[in-house]
A and B are shown apart, each in its own frame.
Chain A
Amino acid sequence: MHVVVCIKQVPDSAQIRVHPVTNTIMRQGVPTIINPFDLFSLEEALRLKDQLGAKVTVLTMGPKMADQALRKALTFGADEAILLTDRAFAGSDTLATSLAISSAIAKIGETQPIDIVFCGKQTIDGDTAQVGPGIATRLGLQQLTYVAKIVSIDQTAREIVVHRRAEGGVQVLKTSLPCLITMMEDTNHIRFGTMADAFRAARSPITEWTAVDAGVPDISKGGLRGSPTVVKKVFAPTARTAKAIAISGDTPEALANSVLDTVFAAHPSLQGDLQSSIATNSQGASS
């Protein structure tokens, strides 16, 4: 069995701060991490390696330094790593990105057929959740997003059953391999690789592919030119013109009374709304 996991190196947005005065983003010195959502998918793939002996290939598209993310993925236990890096990809939006990555995946599949492609649910820097489905569409893979659990895989019948999160419940879906899966967050916890994994990772070469190596069909369809969307401007949210009304008090009790007085005076219907809502709740409460 062969699975491919797509990961992305992203700035650790938890550490990105906005300068309080100039409102610019302080990205300098922000460490890069593997997109956290990718780790749930990677862990799922590594479990297939544990249970079914699957080979795990990790793939990322990014600048040269994205090899750090691949090295880390190898340390978790992945078997092989491929870095798709080419200036031609600069400025790619999700459509252009899925083109590049799906070409690379097809290329990987030429040496050893792929059973499952795992992607992260979304990235913390883009948040779009579009690249996974984009890859599935381009490669004709059965698309399974928001997977909460892989229930079973029948390798002979080439079938897989999963739980997929929907509004208010879970769909139990059965489909054929090959398929693309994005895992829900918190479905698992990435293992801390063993020392043997760390050694293997340190000794493994990372394969680097350009757009040509990856077999991307037409470079003009990638990068900035192949991106239908364009960011027109980036800006800080405007502070509301009306400033917040400060409320203070000598004691917490005095403060609290002051709050209620001020707020109820400004929002005359609020007190009544609260009271009727409480009344309805206590009427409706079963016990």
Chain B
Amino acid sequence: MTESFDAIVVGAGPAGSAAAYVMAKAGLSVLQIERGEYPGAKNVQGAILYADALEKIIPDFREDAPLERHIVEQRVWMLTDTSHIGLDYRSDEFNAEKPDRYSIIRAQFDRWFCTKVKAAGALVICDTVVKALLKDEQGRVIGVKTDREGGDIYANVVILADGVNSTLARDAGFRKELDGDNTALVAKEMHFLRPEVLQNRFNIGEKEGVAFEIVGTLTRGKIGMGFIYTNAESVSIGIGCMVGDFEKGGLTPYGLLDELKAHPSVKPLLAGSEMKEYSAHLIPEGGYKAIPKVFGDGWMVVGDSAGLVNSIHREGSNMAMTSGQLAAETVIALKKEGKPFSAQNLTRYRTALDASYVIKDMKKYQGMPGFLHGNRHMFTLYPELMSKAASTMLRVDGVDKKTKEKQVTKSFRQGRGLFGLLGDAIKFARAFR
């Protein structure tokens, strides 16, 4: 008996589950195939959940989703070897009835999302790898081929949600091999602390959490970003660099993580904790310019597989969910109208993406990867200069303030030169605009 469905979703991460859920809820016959033993088995993230995207799919998710802490404070740190300069934003409005950011643990979250997908009526099969897309003579995608015997399954449309390293998309010719300059490798650990200790240390209440984003000299001029998130009884800490930078030598993901943990500003935060888990994952970092074709005859790509990550704002899983939702809505609309899933008709998906924050934000920051690549001193010189500046200005040592100011200005100009400083400011502003 050949099985066929309205839609097959490849992958049970946030993008895939969002797509499967929305379609199943609308009454379509949906099959979701996940290669891991269970949804989330192959997924790693910091992780921060942006509620807005999920709320639009499952409005009452707060009732039973496994949420660790809602974030009330955001810290941005710039590390030198021995110090840090930080920006801190905390607001009581984050304690609103429906907070918009939560720390989560992906293995649990993805599994929860999958129970919702099943409850909505989709069939979910794990432990099965989709090896290739089935195409007809015209090259239209008509189904998938799995690694199980008798594993050809047919569908009117296939949604690829199989993650950053989608060999499927690559083999089908939808996108190129992963680029070392457009992909980051992040190493992460979970450190367990008693909740009281954690709350005391980070100055938060029972369900509140803090999120840190970190850059610094420890990445030795390589483009890299670290993070620390508080969960209910643990702290997630991680750091990553571009794969290309790791390949060139001198740095390893876990070496970098060890340095981050040992930094004098970070070490006390982990004191007395028990490290119970470590993992690593790739993150698409190519930005707007690296987005591949996201639709074709009988297929669409969502989430990390489509490179939909806004690295500056560390947004990826929400974009994954939104893109999954938009893809699903496209399928639902076309089915209702009785139209085929041709590339022409599926253009609507891209149009919807373009109209949403997903592409809008990525477009806005499309210059950022280039800027960062060309301005490595963001990660070396500036942290040093700023730290030195702070140290000079804040120390009370008998030197008058005017002299100190002159010292600071002098060091900046020596470090970058007046034109360099101006240039950096302009370039940065442009990239940010």
Contact = CB atoms under 8 A, between A and B. Distances in A.
Task: Tell me if chain B binds chain A.
Answer: yes
B276 A193 contact: no
B148 A194 contact: yes
Nearest to B37: A31
Interface residues of A, number: 23
Contacts of A24: 274
Interface string A60-100: 00000000100110010000000000000000000000000
Nearest to B148: A195
B1 to A, nearest CB: 8
A27 B148 CA distance: 31
B276 A202 contact: no
Contacts of B148: 192-195, 197-198
Nearest to A32: B37
B125 A29 contact: no
B107 interface: yes
Interface string B179-204: 00000000000101000000000000
Contacts of B127: 72, 75, 198
B124 A202 contact: yes
Nearest to B152: A195
Contacts of B124: 202
Interface string A197-220: 111011100000000000000000
Interface in B107-153: 107, 123-128, 146-153
A68 B149 contact: no
A195 B192 contact: no
A22 B125 contact: no
Interface string B263-289: 000000000001111010000000000
B38 interface: yes
A202 B277 contact: no
B41 interface: yes
A29 B123 contact: no
Nearest to A68: B38
Contacts of A192: 147-149
Nearest to A27: B276
B3 interface: yes
Interface string A17-40: 001001010111101000000000
A244 interface: no
Interface residues of B, number: 27
Contacts of B126: 71
Given A72-B127, A195-B146, A202-B124, A29 B190 contact: yes
A65 to B, nearest CB: 9
A194 B150 CA distance: 6
A202 B275 contact: no
A195 B41 contact: no
Contacts of A19: 274-275
A202 B274 contact: no
Nearest to B32: A202
Contacts of B38: 68
Contacts of B151: 194-195
A198 B125 contact: yes
A166 interface: no
A196 interface: yes
A195 B153 CA distance: 9
Nearest to B107: A29
Given A26-B276, A28-B190, A31-B41, A195 B149 contact: yes
Of the candidates A27, A194, A199, the one having the most CB atoms from chain B within 10 angstroms of its own CB is: A199
Contact of B277 (A29, A68, A201): A29
Nearest to B41: A31
Contacts of B1: 196
A202 B150 contact: no
A195 B150 contact: yes
The residue among A29, A72, A202 with the most chain B CB atoms within 10 A of its own CB is A202
Contacts of B125: 198-199, 201-202
Interface string B379-394: 0000000000000000
A287 B38 CA distance: 57
A193 B37 CA distance: 14
A61 to B, nearest CB: 20
Nearest to A33: B37
Given A29-B276, A192-B149, 16 more contacts: A26-B275, A26-B277, A27-B276, A28-B277, A68-B38, A192-B148, A194-B149, A194-B150, A195-B148, A195-B149, A195-B150, A195-B151, A196-B150, A198-B125, A198-B148, A199-B3
Interface of B: 1, 3, 37-38, 41, 107, 123-128, 146-153, 190, 192, 274-277, 279
14 contacts: A19-B274, A22-B274, A27-B276, A28-B190, A28-B192, A68-B37, A192-B149, A193-B148, A195-B146, A195-B148, A195-B152, A195-B153, A196-B1, A196-B150
Interface of A: 19, 22, 24, 26-29, 31, 68, 71-72, 75, 192-199, 201-203
